[in-house]
Structure 1
């Protein structure tokens, strides 16, 4: 458990990190480095969200189950325990605390994360009067031990300055207008199975997916933003959350796109995800 001085130094570090400029991805990386000094973690998933719908759009993650990413996202949206859309004051929840130590009450843990020896998750939402800008899950795995009340208090106190910084990073994307000729793009379509497996996509979709979530090492782009929108559709159909399955996300150079999901057919054999150019948040 961190001492008061460690929490205080990290809190000052977060304020300093939030003052710096840059895109939301680099900002989140800097803040994670500071958080780790006071609240160690073994894995994380930090998503920007559409401020109106709270649907994830621009993920930054390092988790041990990347090979099962579609299932992770689908189950995350179907899980009501510690769901970011239900967090308010405080804006932090610890899975061990929320379940009374019965982690199986969490669907994503029961159906997936228990196989990765996840022992606790600290969830934080970054929301203000303008909307929900982001949510962060920090994981403890194996013998790391659960998050403490002190950890939760530290994350709760950090939420306000981090929220302001994330909102500012999004606003700065409108300072530079999109280059001429890029104000409109052709509709881009992904066809996903109910398990969020890509069945088909239009020719230009892959290039935009690469811009949305830059892959490492020349790997094929992962349609994580599309997974999130489709997963929200599943949450709506299951009655877990009623926000629209839609997210607006900045691609590059002032260009924003909107992702939407809808079901094809009555039987629900596939998801239809359309990406079109959109205005700002």
Structure 2
């Protein structure tokens, strides 16, 4: 889907390279990047500086949701650490930055790199006008990730992998990882031959940890990412108390908790706060009467909210709803 979006954008707005990153809607941290950059070996540095750079950061954009790096730096690209430390050497002359967000959260951000000239105001306006449709489409993709597929579609013994850990240096260079991590990443990013998968989700949460430590942003360094239909992982970064063989950051992968699944499920299906409350009540085992008592509403209102939730999610019953929301 993202590639189709990029193809359409490219027909009217020329660009040379891109990064289209899906984010956790609550933490705003990247979890599923799609990128074409000049040098993949330089990706850790590009990601690190993206998170550490205030001008043009997706979390700082105004209501339009779109700007250029040239505009964000007041015409002085040297004010951007990412440009000065990474993009400049690749001949980048401007970056169009857009954020995909709505009242339910931040679903992604898009960077378009240009090597010749700058982005015109009309091009920025064209992307900004398309953002509501792009955001809705991305959110709907996340919602569809909760549909439980046939057994063959699920990763083999995913629940038996156990938590995985990746150790990185402050420059985001991977140092070591557990066997369980290899299982998770190979499922997330299948690769050919003996080449190891690029832990892009790990690089993003680790970069967010650095941003928090530097005072650039205060969102937690974690995110939820779809492993397969019906299966979600939480990726989280933390600082090691003492450096270990060149590593200073630990990134953990584990199955997403029921509470965090319910939160993401409600956001992805654009539920109202009260609809979300009803789903949580049902997920804790309450019947209609119990949910009504907990929420201080009538049983009829609970049933009305559930009808709306069924319509939003495509669930045919409470059991089907919980199977989608909780993966059980």
Matched, 1:114 2:78: no
4+ residue stretches of structure 1 with deviation over 4 A? 177-181, 214-218, 266-269
- After TM superposition, the structure 1 = structure 2 runs for residues 118-157 of structure 1, keeping only pairs within 5 Å, are 118-141=92-115, 144-157=116-129
Matched, 1:95 2:69: yes
Deviation at 1:207, TM superposition (A): 3.1
Partner residue of 1:207 out of 177, 183, 186: 183
* Corresponding residue for residue 255 of structure 2: 277
Deviation at 1:42, TM superposition (A): 0.1
Q: Distance in 2 between matches of 1:178 and 1:250?
A: 16
Specify whether residues 215 and 79 from structure 1 end up closer, same or farther in structure 2 by C-alpha distance, changes over 3 A only: farther
User: Which one has a bigger Cα radius of gyration?
Assistant: 2
Structure 1: 5+ residue stretches without partners? 1-26
Normalising by structure 2, we get a TM-score of: 0.73
Q: Distance in 1 between matches of 2:197 and 2:182?
A: 7
Greater shift in the superposed pair: 266-275 or 54-63:
266-275
Q: Distance in 2 between matches of 1:39 and 1:211?
A: 34
Hey, which of these two has a bigger chunk of helix by percent? Answer: 2
Greater shift in the superposed pair: 128-137 or 263-272:
263-272
Task: State the secondary structure of the residue aligned to 2:179.
Answer: coil
Q: Distance in 2 between matches of 1:217 and 1:46?
A: 26
Task: State the secondary structure of the residue aligned to 1:118.
Answer: coil
Matched, 1:161 2:133: yes
- Tell me, yes or no, if the aligned pair for 2:161 and 2:183 is still in contact at 8 Å: no
- Tell me, yes or no, if the aligned pair for 2:163 and 2:180 is still in contact at 8 Å: no
Q: Distance in 1 between matches of 2:43 and 2:32?
A: 14
* Corresponding residue for residue 86 of structure 1: 60
Task: State the secondary structure of the residue aligned to 1:196.
Answer: coil
Deviation at 1:145, TM superposition (A): 1.2
Q: Distance in 1 between matches of 2:160 and 2:149?
A: 13
Q: How many corresponding residue pairs?
A: 253
Greater shift in the superposed pair: 80-89 or 268-277:
268-277
Task: State the secondary structure of the residue aligned to 2:183.
Answer: helix
Q: Distance in 1 between matches of 2:124 and 2:136?
A: 19
Partner residue of 2:29 out of 46, 55, 58: 55
Normalising by structure 1, we get a TM-score of: 0.85
Give the RMSD, CA atoms, in angstroms.
1.9
Kindly provide the CA deviation profile for residues 201-234 of structure 1, in whole angstroms up to 9, marking residues without a partner as x. 0113223223324447874210110000000000
Work out which structure has the larger RCO, using CA pairs closer than 8 Å and 6 or more positions apart in sequence: 1
Structure 2: 5+ residue stretches without partners? 265-328
